[in-house]
Homo-oligomer: A and B are copies of this chain.
């Protein structure tokens, strides 16, 4: 069938061949219809094979119950889909209910907020969060969405690939949770959540978690008579374990409601014959892990992707791709892969709602190719081209230009257009790369609890280290020290047994005192089957619910550690002297008797790291250091620790710590990405280890923001 596209967790497949999805956001409701064809052809010229478009509720149901399609050019959805089909361009349709897209009311119906303000999300005091931010599962909101879907979905269904049309994927909603999180926190709408109501959603969740109210009272340190009397505890800084538990429970309950909402929307769509796979975009890499329940619930017919912006206004951390951005997109692509999806960036920068700071072709190239270097298999420029906003609908005035490569008025912005063409053409010419994966020297374990702990465990409180700190150390310490030292990590999921299949590479885990019981057990099995494990900086002694859990500790002969108290420790790790301590240092209290000391505070003499080797070949290394990469010694320490785990010289050997690399292979062919994320030119000599030989991959001069691809 025309436009058919399949996927697995490696990549997309077109005509059974591994291919990249190269999509561009193209709003039929903005681009003038008489220019649709020319701009779509321009998009194909860049190597694109798909477009995406919102289908805004705001535009098509201007008055409740009055659905308008095709009456004016900006509402000619079917004309547009027909043209896409003629041009053999796949379409990702995004009918909401939310769009954002610089539309008023985030793209939802204008009348909704005037007539039914009760559907708004609220904070724990019942105060409305932001404006036009819905409480997703509010019955009245769902009723209005249903009415919208009852009209829009049949239209989309007629244009599915299965019906000979262009629609390959449909996205439910947009950047779910953004309208809550960005306006202060989760939704606590009492009606939606059933707080205080017998049989309500929240009490029911608590009941399924705790069984009996006594259990809950014990866990919460409360003395309520029934589940419906439990009030969410919404503070960000819990002062006790009990408060942490309450916050974490609410967070997981909330994530569950998101999964339920997603499933509800998908059900509505399926009933109208939308039979394609579904997609959704996490609003930002830090949110990817918030979708774990949703991915679990929707199973294998969802492609969760993420949005990878770097410069939407002057207050962004930095206004061009930087090492910080590189680290973020690396872990984001990896998390998507671990969630079973071909890593897809549903919003890859194709402009900015701000005219300044500028979008430059150099930055775009760097952004696009570095995402490929780190595993992206599909992307969608947000936006490829804009145009006039439907009257009264946009928040950017009459025009939505977005500094895109095709301006709102249809002008081609040549250097930007060329950057997209370079990218699209490269992916066409190297489509085998879609089937490639990253060659790694070692693995870093992902503890999902860490990556979503901002609400309940962001500070240490009465514990020795926080989960959010562990997540930070993984990124700013382990990953960056590895990158700078020319070592290549991959991420692995601590919550699946896939882990046990990859004992050939060392496994590093940034730890907090809390580690899920199943993870502790799995790590023990990993070592028992010969795996080499590194834990830093603490030895977990609580489970995911903050209850005592010493599976790992027991396996390590009762090992425990305590924070060093000396003001100015001098840390030696193996032969690496004076390793900078900038996130905390822990010393042994109790240690496995057979362990070999590998790190010491030479001021106090205290042991701050040891290695325990098991007869089966497995080993556990504990290092009591939390760090953020800042000194060369950090990279040297990583090299020493990996060497101790049997990983010698790295696969890619780059002599400049400011030039990062990524090697991707499909088994036959290999491409080495050499990347400069700095504003100054860089020089690097690179070698690649393969089959026992060291291949010279050349000496490279890289301009600022340059990414070079070298086939090796």
Contacts and interface: CB of A to CB of B under 8 A. Distances in A.
Given A628-B313, A632-B355, A322 B322 contact: no
A445 B628 CA distance: 41
A570 interface: yes
Interface stretch (A6-14, A332-340, A678-686): A678-686
24 contacts: A131-B567, A313-B628, A314-B476, A314-B630, A319-B322, A320-B678, A320-B680, A354-B630, A355-B630, A355-B657, A356-B480, A356-B484, A358-B657, A358-B680, A360-B679, A360-B680, A361-B680, A362-B679, A397-B570, A397-B578, A678-B679, A679-B704, A680-B704, A704-B704
A236 interface: no
A427 interface: no
B678 A358 contact: yes
Given A361-B680, A397-B578, A681-B362, A314 B318 contact: no
Interface in A340-379: 353-358, 360-363
A397 B314 CA distance: 38
A104 interface: yes
A568 interface: yes
A483 B303 CA distance: 44
Interface string A516-547: 00000000000000000000000000000000
B356 A630 contact: yes
Interface string A384-417: 0000000000011110000000000000000000
Interface residues of A, number: 48
A323 interface: yes
A679 B629 contact: no
Interface string A294-324: 0000000000000000000111011110111
A158 interface: no
Contacts of A81: none
A182 to B, nearest CB: 15
A43 to B, nearest CB: 24
A658 interface: yes
Contacts of A679: 320, 360, 362-363, 678-679, 704-705
Given A357-B323, A397-B578, A680 B705 contact: yes
A453 B681 CA distance: 41
Contacts of A570: 397
A397 B579 CA distance: 8
Interface of A: 104, 131, 313-315, 317-320, 322-324, 353-358, 360-363, 395-398, 476, 480, 484, 567-568, 570, 577-578, 580, 628-632, 657-658, 678-681, 704-705
A681 B360 CA distance: 9
A229 B658 CA distance: 58
Contacts of A320: 678-680
A404 to B, nearest CB: 15
B362 A657 contact: no
Contacts of A680: 320, 358, 360-363, 704-705
Interface centre among A357, A396, A476 (most CB of B within 10 A): A357
Q: How many copies does the complex hold?
A: 2
A658 B319 CA distance: 12
A339 B704 CA distance: 39
Nearest to A312: B630
Contacts of A363: 679-680
A620 to B, nearest CB: 28
Top 6 nearest A-B pairs (CB, nearest first) are A397-B578, A360-B680, A354-B630, A362-B680, A679-B679, A320-B679
A317 B324 CA distance: 10
Given A320-B680, A356-B658, A568-B104, A628 B315 contact: yes
Determine which residue in A317, A319, A356, A705 has the highest number of CB atoms from chain B within 10 A of its CB, and name it.
A356
A629 B356 contact: yes
Contacts of A632: 355-356
A323 B314 contact: yes
A261 B705 CA distance: 48
Contacts of A362: 679-681
B480 A314 contact: yes
A323 B658 CA distance: 23
Given A314-B629, A358-B680, 12 more contacts: A313-B628, A315-B476, A318-B319, A319-B323, A319-B678, A323-B357, A355-B630, A356-B629, A357-B658, A358-B678, A360-B680, A361-B680
Contacts of A567: 104, 131
Contacts of A678: 319-320, 357-358, 360, 679
Contacts of A322: 318-319
A603 B317 CA distance: 34
B314 A628 contact: yes
A476 B357 CA distance: 12
Contacts of A324: 314
A475 to B, nearest CB: 10
Nearest to A353: B630
Of the listed residues A324, A397, A568, A679, the one surrounded by the most CB atoms of chain B closer than 10 A to its CB is: A679
Contacts of A704: 679-680, 704-705
A617 to B, nearest CB: 35
A313 B476 CA distance: 11
Nearest to A578: B397
A104 B628 CA distance: 20
Contacts of A705: 679-680, 704
Contacts of A313: 628, 630
B395 A568 contact: yes
Chain B CB within 10 Å — which of A476, A568, A580, A704 has the most? A704
Given A680-B320, A704-B704, A578 B354 contact: no
Contacts of A315: 476, 628
